[in-house]
Structure 1
Amino acid sequence: MRIAYLHGGSIPSFFANGVHVMRMCDAFTDAGHDVTLYSMPGSYSDDDPHEYYGVRHRFPIQLIPAPDDTPDGYRKRGEQIRSLLTGDDAPDLIYGRDPYALAATAGLAPFVYEVHQLRQDLPTGTEQALLSLPGLAQVVVVTHVLAHDLQAAYRGLGTLPIRVAPDCADPPDPGAVLDAPRLPGRPDAPRIGYVGHLYDGRGIDLVLDLAGLLPGFDFHLVGGTTEDRARWEAPCPHPNVYFHGHRPPAVLPGYFPLFDVVLAPHQPKVYTWDRLDEIGRWTSPMKLFEYMSHGRAIVASDLPVLREVLEDGVNCLLRPSDRPQAWADAVTDLVADRALRSRLGDEARRQFLELYTWRRRADLVLADLRLPGTVST
């Protein structure tokens, strides 16, 4: 099947949505589909996107800028993408997270709309109009609570064709040759890792509290923009905390095996870059699945949305997001008990391989699509 993936963000970038989009296009290609990604051009890096993200397949990428950063500019970009999808390049399916481009191209082929939050940034009526189009084949969301909230928000449209598909990860490539990063710190100190952005609500203050409670352990935080790193690192009083900053997704697999315990300290309210959106109720953090893919022992916040994937004492330890001492006790228990670490990590990896690989997700979101009978051009 020929799939046009429409992305409203930039490639490459340091945003998680770029990782998600590239991994999904890679998985669609791995499943045998002919995929072209239509994205905004990136300003973060000049690296080849396939190498920067470490994907396995070199699917085509078309970088289409918007005339300006306004809804009208994004609509004009959508019309430009529409012109590229006609004739010999007409796709069998249009898939994407860009409501403007999806609306502009919806008449060319059945389309799948993927959404990770209730969109508050769109002009009134934009998303409802998109969900009302006859070409809509499916709506993909990352959590069950988001499926419920989206259906409730648009109950007037009747039952939406919603598919719940959590974020995922790729299994580590046993044949990959990675340069293992050299971590600073004490050679005999247990290494506690956090990988992800440093935005508000990601629990970075909880990690720093843990470092104060556990001075015998070294804490490594991998990720974050230069500005966010400076905001947390400059006032940090603990010598056992190391900030590593943003790393290209392609090199992150080298970090996970170095950590004895990994942390997912999300708070009830989780913000995106520059606090533009609050997504705590619906979040499906990709790094959580990367932890699972590497069989790491996880301590995570006991939040309803994370319990869609995690189970205390089975594939992780769950602790209240506002109780640092409970987290310190959990980390200490895991460091002291190798058998417990192995049991939790092994079960996390088993569940990951069964349920949470990008390839499985690609197959899931394309299975049994509700395709309209005839789509007009």
Structure 2
Amino acid sequence: MRIAYVCADPGIPVFGTKGASVHVQEVVRVLLEAGHEIDLFCRRTGGEPWPAAAAARAAGRLTVHELGRIRGEDVADRERRAMAADGDMLRAVTAAGPFDAVYERYSLWSTAGTAYAREHGVPAVLEVNAPLPAEQARHRGLVHTVEARAVVRQAAADASAVVCVSEPVAAWVRDHLARTGPAGRPAVVVEANGVDVDRIRPAAGRPDRPFTVGFVGTLKPWHGTETLLEAHALLRRSVPAARLLLVGDGPQADALREQARALGTAGAVETTGAVAPVDVPALLHRMDVATAPYPAAGEGYFSPLKVYEYMAAGLPVVASAVGQLPGVVEHARTGLLVPGSDPAALAEALHGLATDAGLRERVGAAARAHVTSGHTWTHVVERSLAAAGLPLAAREPAGVGG
């Protein structure tokens, strides 16, 4: 099939290092490996594609259409320009067609992908990862609230299937669709994040080094990294050599470095800054335990990409028992669950793993087996397409792995 992949969100550089960027890259990778031709429509690329995707582009199997970022004098002006730019995106998709199917990542102001599908009578998958109007209002400001809600209703109603990253997101979509009338009722299914278990594998042996606790992700308040630093400091009272490896960058980076200095652990905390997806596996191999220390109060609709990557690397995971995490991590089998925002409980779980190598080995092996059995990106994309009545072509890999 020839598929239009639409990501109109200007905050997602499709070849970048953010979790959302990785999600885009993995879906595109799976579609290319299945033998499809992809036209990728976006606002930002953020750089060059990974080498095998660049080869697919050179061979004419991947075409990238970068339409440019949207500027404005203030929030309201940017929103108006983004709404108008949706027409530009639809015209770009139409001009590049015809397409056999559309895969659109829902963004705040875009209906272009599913509108093309409706107008041309082809199947469309709409992937929804968050209730974006609420996120925008909370974190960045939202003026045109009514229009933003109308966008999700229209985009979802025009899709053949809406694939949601969690049940709370699916409930939010169903609520919007209930207001469109019986005609606009596509299938709404839940499909959490996945992982490339070929790209991310367990380390070949464990080197003789200090016990290392890890975290991968953007350094933002809702990831709970300040709690992790407190827990690490507590852990060092009983495991003095314990180190902490923070993989990623973000607005909290300076505050976390200052916190480590205040806790007296700065010499035992390493921050890498932003890291390309291709470099993540080697950094996971430097960890003995990986963490997802989300706060107790926060947004519970997320699907934690980092946790699937930890599990694929054969690492025991210590995660907060919040949101969707208890459905991902089975306590005492594929990881350990602790209360969110509780550094003492997190430190206690880390201590148990630091002092029991056998437990680490058993939990890490079970975690790897769990994601391999049904949570690879191939599983995710295959089930997502099936919800829209589309097969994932069973063809020999075309050499476009991430």
Question: Aligning the two structures, in what range does the TM-score lie when normalised by the shorter sequence?
Answer: 0.7 to 0.9
Matches within 5 A, 1:157-176: 157=180, 160-173=186-199
Does structure 2 retain, via aligned residues, the 8 Å contact 1:282–1:305? yes
In the alignment, what sits opposite 1:318? 337
- SS for the counterpart of 2:132 is coil
- SS for the counterpart of 1:117 is coil
Judging changes above 3 Å, is the alpha-carbon distance between structure 1 residues 338 and 284 closer, same or farther for their aligned structure 2 residues? same
In the alignment, what sits opposite 1:38? 41
Does structure 1 retain, via aligned residues, the 8 Å contact 2:40–2:64? yes
CA distance in 2, matches of 1:110, 1:369: 6
In the alignment, what sits opposite 1:127? 152
Of 27, 31, 53, the match for 1:28:
31
> Under a length normalisation based on structure 2, what TM-score does the superposition of the two structures give?
0.79
Of 230, 233, 244, the match for 1:209:
230
Does structure 1 retain, via aligned residues, the 8 Å contact 2:160–2:186? no
Mark the runs of 5 or more structure 2 residues left unpaired by the alignment: 73-77, 137-144, 391-402
- Which residue identity lines up with residue 13 of structure 1 in the other structure? G
Provide the aligned length of Structure 1 versus Structure 2. 347
Does structure 2 retain, via aligned residues, the 8 Å contact 1:197–1:224? yes
- SS for the counterpart of 1:48 is coil
Of 16, 21, 25, the match for 1:13:
16
In the alignment, what sits opposite 1:49? 49
Of 134, 137, 145, the match for 2:168:
145
Tell me how far 1:78 sits from its aligned partner.
Answer: 3.2
CA distance in 2, matches of 1:16, 1:174: 15
> Under a length normalisation based on structure 1, what TM-score does the superposition of the two structures give?
0.83
Does structure 2 retain, via aligned residues, the 8 Å contact 1:194–1:262? yes
Tell me how far 1:11 sits from its aligned partner.
Answer: 3.1
Cα shift readout 1:267-286 (whole Å, capped 9, x = no counterpart): 2445xxxxxxxxx2211111
CA distance in 1, matches of 2:325, 2:200: 28
CA distance in 2, matches of 1:194, 1:166: 20
Judging changes above 3 Å, is the alpha-carbon distance between structure 1 residues 152 and 170 closer, same or farther for their aligned structure 2 residues? same
CA distance in 2, matches of 1:306, 1:339: 24
Of 82, 85, 88, the match for 1:74:
82
- Which residue identity lines up with residue 294 of structure 1 in the other structure? A
- SS for the counterpart of 2:252 is helix
**Is residue 2:110 matched to residue 1:89?**
no
Does structure 2 retain, via aligned residues, the 8 Å contact 1:223–1:246? yes
- Which residue identity lines up with residue 32 of structure 2 in the other structure? T
- Which residue identity lines up with residue 250 of structure 1 in the other structure? V
In the alignment, what sits opposite 2:112? 101
CA distance in 1, matches of 2:7, 2:93: 14
Two-structure CA RMSD over aligned residues (Å): 2.8
CA distance in 2, matches of 1:193, 1:357: 22
In the alignment, what sits opposite 1:241? 269
Mark the runs of 5 or more structure 1 residues left unpaired by the alignment: 271-279, 372-377
Structure having the larger proportion of residues in helix: 2
Matches within 5 A, 1:182-193: 188-193=209-214
CA distance in 1, matches of 2:55, 2:340: 36
**Is residue 2:65 matched to residue 1:65?**
no
In the alignment, what sits opposite 1:4? 4
Of 358, 361, 373, the match for 1:342:
361
Does structure 1 retain, via aligned residues, the 8 Å contact 2:114–2:124? no
Judging changes above 3 Å, is the alpha-carbon distance between structure 1 residues 233 and 295 closer, same or farther for their aligned structure 2 residues? same
In the alignment, what sits opposite 1:277? none
Judging changes above 3 Å, is the alpha-carbon distance between structure 1 residues 174 and 65 closer, same or farther for their aligned structure 2 residues? closer
**Is residue 2:125 matched to residue 1:112?**
yes
Does structure 2 retain, via aligned residues, the 8 Å contact 1:265–1:301? yes
Judging changes above 3 Å, is the alpha-carbon distance between structure 1 residues 72 and 173 closer, same or farther for their aligned structure 2 residues? same
- Which residue identity lines up with residue 128 of structure 1 in the other structure? R
